[in-house]
Amino acid sequence: MKGTLRYLAGIAGPNGFGSRSTAEQVTQRSFFPCSHLTAIITGGTSGIGAETARVLAKRGVRVVMAVRDMKKAEMVKERILRENPEADVKLFEIDLSSLSSVARFCSQFLSQDLPLNILINNAGVFSPDLEFSEEKIELTFATNFLGHYLLTEMLIEKMIDTAEKSGIEGRIINLSSVIHSWVKPDCFSFPKLLHPISRYNGTRAYAHSKLATILHAKALSKQLKDRNANVTINAVHPGIVKTGIIRAHKGLFTDSLFLIASKLLKSISQGAATTCYVALSNETKGLSGKYFADCNETESSDLANDESVAFKLCTHSHALIHDYLHQSQIHSLPNLCLM
Q: What is the chain's Cα-based Rg?
A: 19
Burial class (CB within 10 angstroms; exposed 0-12, middle 13-18, buried 19+) of 159: buried
- Average pLDDT (90-111) is 97
User: Alpha-carbon dihedral of residues 39, 43, 49, 50, nearest 10 degrees?
Assistant: 100
User: Alpha-carbon dihedral of residues 52, 54, 55, 61, nearest 10 degrees?
Assistant: 100
pLDDT at 262: 54
* DSSP three-state, residue 296: strand
Higher-pLDDT residue of 36 and 45 is: 45
Distance CA 176, CA 167 (A): 28
Say what the pTM is: 0.90
Q: Which of 124-133, 217-226, 248-257 has the lowest mean pLDDT?
A: 248-257
The helices-and-strands tally (H runs, E runs) of the chain is 14, 8
Distance CA 314, CA 212 (A): 9
| pLDDT tens profile 3-33 | 444 444 467 899 999 999 999 999 997 666 6
- Active centre residues (catalytic): 200
The CATH architecture to which 1-328 belongs is: 3-Layer(aba) Sandwich (3.40)
pLDDT at 328: 75
Percent of the chain with pLDDT over 90: 76
